[in-house]
């Protein structure tokens, strides 16, 4: 009998990358992927805990699975990701009694053993690896891949659940990262995205694997970027997310490496010093503005993105206006805005009051959203008449789409043979979220 699995992934790229690893574990057990949850024997929910609403979506699924289990008594429902990771007292688990397996990301190496205990028809296997990050993911593209280099975080920003959900910072072995990327390069991959909670704080546990002629001396992440830039097929290197305080001289210099995409995502969270301090971001407004200045001095046309939280505990209108003014100075190309949501266990939950009303958070969120759209639309006009470099991801009805080097979605007439290649359409029209081009 062919057993099947279905994985639903919530949240960030790192969760998506972990799901691609879980696929490898299940495939090795002989299970097959299915897009149809009703035909699955194992269902995995890979959860996100960043905001309250992300967890609420999991709590609400009990009735669906009760129905599925009635039809298929051997069905195994597993929950992984950030929720089990942060749930040290198993309080959250009590709210999902319909779940058969509940494990943190790093425990996926034990999945074969645990699944075989629940269903004796499954093949019993040894653990695949000791460090789950060394399991090479089942990449969903033949030309773009995500590579996790780090998990967890030591920073304890007061609003953030990540250090609880994913533990303190753990850096993957350099040897293993380079082997994975080298393998992708040999297979002809064009773009890789390095993932970590603070990627630019990557510290190689085995630095002896850096080349002797590496031009960077101090910052291991800059050194890693340099190593990747030597590879032959990979043409674009992208990474997320860095922390402003580790944007040192070498890091900023590494932005000029030839394969670095013309985009950086640098979370700021707030433009006000008191709020930044209460968030434990470890830098002030001016420090962030100086970094942006240095980036622009090295690469004037680099697109810049950020993350902002509105309505953090005690945030006044004046303090919010500091975020608005910082936004205007930085002239962001894209910004992800979140309304602050209390996460149990965090310092903010214990020490501060979540006292900005829902309506006010919504109003501030909308102000930033409108500002971003206005700025982005205006900025995108500069591409009209210019050629941009696009890695083509898909083509439908002779329309091809992909991201430019600035991570701007671009559409132009083409054909399926262009998928996975880099094209340089000339832009004739620019909207807020889409550039229209022509390949001449
Ligand atoms: N409430 C709202 N947004 C949050 N983020 C992280 N924690 C919270 C929270 N408690 C946002 C931050 C971070 C992004 C991944 O999610 O902006 O950069
Ligand atoms: Fe969370 Fe701050 Fe670490 Fe980012 S740096 S993962 S926001 S604690």
Cβ of residue 340 lying under 6 Å from some atom of ligand 1: yes
**Alpha-helical segments (H) within 167-279:** 174-186, 220-229, 249-254, 273-278
Output the CA 376–ligand 2 centroid distance in Å.
26
Same domain? For 161 and 91 the reply is no
Percent of the chain with pLDDT over 90: 95
Percent of the chain with pLDDT over 70: 100
- Residue 130's pLDDT is 83
Tell me, yes or no, whether 84 lies in a domain. yes
Output the CA 195–ligand 2 centroid distance in Å.
13
Cβ of residue 343 lying under 6 Å from some atom of ligand 1: yes
Same domain? For 144 and 114 the reply is no
Region label for 259, one of left (φ > 0), alpha (ψ between -120 and 50) or beta (otherwise)? alpha
- Residue 146's pLDDT is 97
pLDDT band per the 50, 70, 90 thresholds, residue 123:
confident
Q: Tell me: the pLDDT tens digits for 29-85?
A: 999 999 999 999 999 999 999 998 889 999 999 999 999 999 999 999 999 999 999
Nearest to 147 by CA among 212, 213, 191: 191
Question: By CB neighbour count within 10 A (0-12 exposed, 13-18 middle, 19+ buried), where does 326 fall?
Answer: buried
Tokens of 329: 């100075």
What's the domain count of the chain?
3
Q: Tell me: the pLDDT tens digits for 365-405?
A: 999 999 999 999 999 999 999 999 999 999 999 999 999 99
Last residue of a domain, one of 111, 132, 153: 132
Task: Give residue 23's domain range.
Answer: 4-132
Query: Does the pLDDT at position 128 exceed 90?
Result: no
Output the CA 122–ligand 1 centroid distance in Å.
39
Q: Tell me: the pLDDT tens digits for 161-177?
A: 999 999 999 999 999 99
- Residue 127's pLDDT is 80
Tell me, yes or no, whether 360 lies in a domain. no
pLDDT band per the 50, 70, 90 thresholds, residue 414:
very high
Same domain? For 98 and 183 the reply is no
Tell me, yes or no, whether 266 lies in a domain. no
User: How many whole angstroms separate alpha carbon 407 and alpha carbon 333?
Assistant: 10
Output the CA 427–ligand 1 centroid distance in Å.
34
User: How many whole angstroms separate alpha carbon 103 and alpha carbon 47?
Assistant: 11
Tell me, yes or no, whether 424 lies in a domain. yes
Tell me, yes or no, whether 275 lies in a domain. no
**Alpha-helical segments (H) within 29-172:** 52-59, 62-71, 82-86, 91-94, 111-118, 162-165
* Test site for ligand 1: of 12, 16, 50, 275, most ligand atoms within 8 A of the Cβ: 50
Helix and strand counts by DSSP (H, E) for the chain: 15, 19
Query: Does the pLDDT at position 184 exceed 90?
Result: yes
Q: Whose CA is nearest to atom 7 of ligand 1?
A: 160
**CA 234 to chain centroid:** 20
Pairing assessment for the beta strands 4-9 and 32-33 based on DSSP bridges: parallel
Same domain? For 128 and 187 the reply is no
Same domain? For 148 and 40 the reply is no
Ligand number with the minimum distance to the CA of 313: 1
Same domain? For 112 and 186 the reply is no
Q: Whose CA is nearest to atom 1 of ligand 2?
A: 160
Output the CA 338–ligand 1 centroid distance in Å.
6
Last residue of a domain, one of 197, 232, 261: 261
Query: Does the pLDDT at position 413 exceed 90?
Result: yes
Question: By CB neighbour count within 10 A (0-12 exposed, 13-18 middle, 19+ buried), where does 351 fall?
Answer: exposed
* Test site for ligand 2: of 14, 48, 153, most ligand atoms within 8 A of the Cβ: 153
Question: By CB neighbour count within 10 A (0-12 exposed, 13-18 middle, 19+ buried), where does 209 fall?
Answer: middle
Tell me, yes or no, whether 352 lies in a domain. no
Q: Indicate which CATH number applies to the domain containing 209.
A: 3.30.750.210
Tell me, yes or no, whether 287 lies in a domain. no
Same domain? For 113 and 153 the reply is no
Q: Indicate which CATH number applies to the domain containing 39.
A: 3.40.50.12160
Output the CA 12–ligand 2 centroid distance in Å.
13
Query: Does the pLDDT at position 104 exceed 90?
Result: yes
Last residue of a domain, one of 73, 103, 132: 132
- In the predicted model, what is the mean pLDDT of the chain? 96
What residue ranges line ligand 2, CB within 6 angstroms?
153, 155-157, 160, 162-163, 197-198, 243
Ligand number with the minimum distance to the CA of 342: 1
- Residue 149's pLDDT is 97
- Residue 126's pLDDT is 81
User: How many whole angstroms separate alpha carbon 384 and alpha carbon 88?
Assistant: 53
Same domain? For 32 and 149 the reply is no
User: How many whole angstroms separate alpha carbon 112 and alpha carbon 72?
Assistant: 20
Same domain? For 127 and 147 the reply is no
Q: Indicate which CATH number applies to the domain containing 413.
A: 2.40.50.140
- Residue 245's pLDDT is 98
The mean pLDDT value for 225-245 works out to 98
User: Model's pTM, two decimal places?
Assistant: 0.95
Output the CA 226–ligand 1 centroid distance in Å.
30
Cβ of residue 164 lying under 6 Å from some atom of ligand 1: no
Which residues are registered as beta bridge partners of 303?
A: 263
Token pair 């999902």 is found at: 96
Residue 394: count other Cβ atoms within 10 Å of its Cβ: 11
Output the CA 356–ligand 2 centroid distance in Å.
22
Query: Does the pLDDT at position 1 exceed 90?
Result: no
Query: Does the pLDDT at position 124 exceed 90?
Result: no
Tell me, yes or no, whether 124 lies in a domain. yes
The mean pLDDT value for 422-427 works out to 98
Query: Does the pLDDT at position 125 exceed 90?
Result: no
Cβ of residue 307 lying under 6 Å from some atom of ligand 1: yes
């Amino acid at each position: 009998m062919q057993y099947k699995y279905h994985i639903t992934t919530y949240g960030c790229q790192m969760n998506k990358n972990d799901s691609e690893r879980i696929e490898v574990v299940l495939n090795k057990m002989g299970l097959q992927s299915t897009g149809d949850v009703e035909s699955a024997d194992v269902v995995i929910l890979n959860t996100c805990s960043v905001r309250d609403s992300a967890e609420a979506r999991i709590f609400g699924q009990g009735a669906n699975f009760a129905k599925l289990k009635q039809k298929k008594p051997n069905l195994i429902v597993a929950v992984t990701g950030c929720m089990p990771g942060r749930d040290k007292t198993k309080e959250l688990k009590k709210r999902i009694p319909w779940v058969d397996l509940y494990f943190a990301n790093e425990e996926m190496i034990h999945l074969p053993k645990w699944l075989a205990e629940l269903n004796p028809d499954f093949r019993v296997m040894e653990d695949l690896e000791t460090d789950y990050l060394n399991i090479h993911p089942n990449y969903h593209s033949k030309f773009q891949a995500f590579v996790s280099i780090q998990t967890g975080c030591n920073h304890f920003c007061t609003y953030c659940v990540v250090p609880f959900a994913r533990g303190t910072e753990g850096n993957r072995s350099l040897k293993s990262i380079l082997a994975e990327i080298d393998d992708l390069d040999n297979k002809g991959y064009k773009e890789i995205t390095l993932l970590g909670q603070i990627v630019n704080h990557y510290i190689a546990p085995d630095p002896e694997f850096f080349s002797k002629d590496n031009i960077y001396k101090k910052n291991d992440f800059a050194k890693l970027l340099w190593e990747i830039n030597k590879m032959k097929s990979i043409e674009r290197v992208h990474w997320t997310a860095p922390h402003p305080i580790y944007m040192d001289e070498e890091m900023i210099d590494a932005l000029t490496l030839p394969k670095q995409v013309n985009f950086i995502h640098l979370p700021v969270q707030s433009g006000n010093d008191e709020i930044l301090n209460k968030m434990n971001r470890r830098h002030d407004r001016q420090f962030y503005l100086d970094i942006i200045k240095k980036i622009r001095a090295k690469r004037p046309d680099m697109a810049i993105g950020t993350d902002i939280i509105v309505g953090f505990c005690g945030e006044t209108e004046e303090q919010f206006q500091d975020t608005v003014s910082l936004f205007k100075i930085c002239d962001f190309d894209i910004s992800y805005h979140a309304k602050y949501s209390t996460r149990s266990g965090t310092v903010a939950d214990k020490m501060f009051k979540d006292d900005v009303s829902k309506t006010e958070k919504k109003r501030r969120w909308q102000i930033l959203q409108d500002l971003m759209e206005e700025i982005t639309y205006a900025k995108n006009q500069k591409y009209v008449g210019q050629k941009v470099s696009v890695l083509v991801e898909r083509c439908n009805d002779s329309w091809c789409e992909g991201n430019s080097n600035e991570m701007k979605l671009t559409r132009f007439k083409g054909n399926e043979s262009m998928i996975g290649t880099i094209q340089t359409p000339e832009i004739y029209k620019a909207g807020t979220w889409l550039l229209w081009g022509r390949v001449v």
